Amino acid sequence: MQALLEHEGLSRVVLTSRRLPQDLAGNRMLVLPIHALSLNEAATLAREMPNLGRLLMGKGTVGLERGRVLAKRTLSLVQGHPKLIELADAQAGDPAALEKYLEGAAAAWGRSESDLDRFFQEGESARSAEEFLDVLTGWTKDVSLNLPEGSRRLFLMLCALEDADRLDWIVKQVWPELWKDLAGEAPELDQALKAVRSSGLADTQALGEGVKYVIHPGVAQAGGEMSEEKFRSALDSKIASFWKAVFGQATSGEQEMGQLAVMAGLRSAPYLLRLKRWDEASVLLEQAIYRDSSPETIASVLPLLRQITLASMGTDRELIEAGVLAEALRNAGRWQEAEGMLRSLIPRCVSQGDFRSASVRAGDLFNILLSTGRFEEALKLTEEIKAYTLRAGLGPWTQYGDEVRRLQALDALGRYDEVLKDVEELRVQIRSLPQRGDKEETVEPWNVLEAILDTGCEAAMRLDKNEKALELNAERIEAKKSRGATELELARTRFNDNGPLLNLKRYDQDFELLLECKEIFEREKDIPALAQVFTALADLEDEMSNLDQAMRFSEASLRYNYLTGDAESISISHNNQAVYLSKAGSNKTLVHDMASGIIRSLIHSGLLGTTLRNFSLHLTQFGSQSLPSSFDEVCRTVEEVDGVRFRELFRRLAGADANGDQVMSAVIDLSQEAEHELGDQDK
């Protein structure tokens, strides 16, 4: 947000919010209150309203002169606020009732009506947003108090619901259940709704085959303040139970309904938090992000998890909630913060004998190590995870999940034959394993199966066993579909077909796949996936001899990968850029080779050999005069690409005190050794 506001270009950012974000104060931001219409706009709206329009036209029982006086007073007291105009119109069907409410509005402003009449001289209201909200609150309370009891309860119920839950199919199920706690028989819903709608407090909107109840946020806030604690708690409990039941139905069958499970987990949380049922909310939120780690879902869950973590401090749930928050932070790309939390949590879990939590959180740490290029450390950690799992007495699916982590680390280290062999054995072993057993599991069976297939697919691609890779990925796609995976997750999995399709020269099929995936990744704002799709598009264009387009896609991939911070992916982008530059005859080729080699040497990547061989070939092509003279030159040249922060990445991987020139010299030595080995093989 800071970057968007401080740029010097021609584009502009428009933000709309009911509240001004505190940390944006002082920026070059023009703040425009838009809570009220101008006089002309308000008058136009009033004329279009059924009842106020009749008053202005002199229709009805009050006559033209009286009608216009009443309409003018209404405009003065609503001060151009659209919702107040709407509420006034609902009362204007009965002029006597309207006058009564106008008296209440005049008192609510706390100002003389002559002061409010400045609206007519100046054409704009001088009232603040807070004043408008106070008046809207007072008017809402006055109108609602005159509703029949059943209608008033329905209005308060709709106000207490989260906006996404104001749907007829939800209300129809919860409405009669709520009245059981109110010790009465539920009034007929449609009849109760009719009075609420006619009062102007709520309206309905067609939504597919159903109906959504629409309430102005200020009105909903006022209604929420009017609810008795007993009523609000009863409603929160009913809605929370409703969504928990939906979650149970979505996950208990033979075929899981993943998207429904995610929705239920997210929807239940606000009500559980208001009831201070922290552990239940935490479990459901964790299950939601376990199934859907899209940016939108993670962004919505993070503040809720922070609230839960804060509330659980000093309780027996403290370590558990902190671990769930750390995993969400990792999914959000804030892995440094997550790693710091996990390295503190794991020894605390062990010291308290909570080996279950130690196993889970060490698994989270493993994911961070793997995604940030620390493969040897990740492989070593798998042994600790296995020990924690056994000491916790966890079941076979969790143990197989630990074994998959070991294979993922081996795959990252380039031991592909070993990985593919073990994957085929695991596929056979888990077929006879029951989905549910007597021992506790910290993983879902489908997650273990999909991880096995994914790891095998990756190893098969590295070994150029393309048909095997397509076979494994097809099985994984079907597994995800059967559990109702999200569109984003399916697109991520389908994307794995890119490499094999490219190797098999099925270019049209590959291009269609990449464009479909790119559209979904852009819509879901999935930065790592977009980096991958641009890498794939560059490879495809290169295969089809479109070098200029390949280089443009490659630079886009490099920018996106630096946003993710994934060291292995960044090294791939530098390596690819060097290959394309060499084909274009650019003397910057060896600089990107060097950047890739430095990164891969620091993370002990299994792909280092590829970089070293390319480096040797390019050195022969361009000559030693094209070698970068220093580490600073490497940084300077590669950072000509917008968004590339190579020096910053180096410090993260090598440490603040590491000598870049020494690391660069070591890479050159390694490339010379690789060149000698290639020469010996030729002989």
Q: DSSP string spanning 169-186?
A: HHHHHHHHHHHHHTTSPP
pLDDT digits (tens, 9 = 90+) for 595-604: 999 999 888 8
Question: Does residue 9 form part of some domain?
Answer: no
CA atoms within 13 A on the CB side of 121: 6
pLDDT in the model for residue 681: 42
Question: Does residue 14 form part of some domain?
Answer: no
Question: Does residue 446 form part of some domain?
Answer: no
Q: Which region holds residue 253: left if phi is over 0, alpha if psi is between -120 and 50, else beta?
A: beta
Mean pLDDT of the chain: 87
Q: How far apart are CA 49 and CA 401, in angstroms?
A: 63
Say if residue 617 is in the same domain as residue 657.
yes
pLDDT in the model for residue 127: 80
Say if residue 269 is in the same domain as residue 370.
yes
Q: How far apart are CA 270 and CA 284, in angstroms?
A: 11
pLDDT band, residue 97 (cuts 50/70/90): confident
Domain boundary among 421, 450, 479: 421
Given a cut of 70, whether residue 86 has pLDDT beyond it is yes
Domain boundary among 421, 453, 483: 421
From 455, 543, 538, 527, select the one nearest 496 (Cα to Cα).
455
Asked whether the beta carbons of 513 and 495 are under 8 A apart, the reply is: yes
Given a cut of 70, whether residue 255 has pLDDT beyond it is no
Say if residue 244 is in the same domain as residue 356.
yes
Q: How far apart are CA 278 and CA 321, in angstroms?
A: 9
Beta bridge partners of 213: 204
Given a cut of 80, whether residue 266 has pLDDT beyond it is yes
Say if residue 319 is in the same domain as residue 240.
yes
pLDDT band, residue 615 (cuts 50/70/90): confident
Say if residue 645 is in the same domain as residue 677.
yes
Given a cut of 60, whether residue 25 has pLDDT beyond it is no
Given a cut of 50, whether residue 241 has pLDDT beyond it is yes
pLDDT band, residue 683 (cuts 50/70/90): very low
Given a cut of 90, whether residue 380 has pLDDT beyond it is yes
- Read off the CATH number of the domain in which 282 is found: 1.25.40.10
Say if residue 315 is in the same domain as residue 179.
no
pLDDT digits (tens, 9 = 90+) for 269-304: 999 999 999 999 999 998 888 888 888 888 889 999
Question: Does residue 464 form part of some domain?
Answer: no
Beta bridge partners of 205: 212
- How many domains is the chain partitioned into structurally? 4
Say if residue 296 is in the same domain as residue 357.
yes
Question: Does residue 527 form part of some domain?
Answer: no
Say if residue 258 is in the same domain as residue 306.
yes
The 3-state DSSP class for residue 204 equals strand
Asked whether the beta carbons of 645 and 563 are under 8 A apart, the reply is: no
Cβ–Cβ contacts within 10 Å for residue 247, how many? Answer: 24
The answer for residues whose C-beta is within 8 angstroms of residue 367's C-beta and 6 or more apart is: 330
Asked whether the beta carbons of 555 and 543 are under 8 A apart, the reply is: no
The percentage of the chain sitting over the pLDDT mark of 90, rounded to a whole number, equals 45
Range of the domain at 387: 236-421
pLDDT band, residue 631 (cuts 50/70/90): very high
Q: Which region holds residue 643: left if phi is over 0, alpha if psi is between -120 and 50, else beta?
A: left
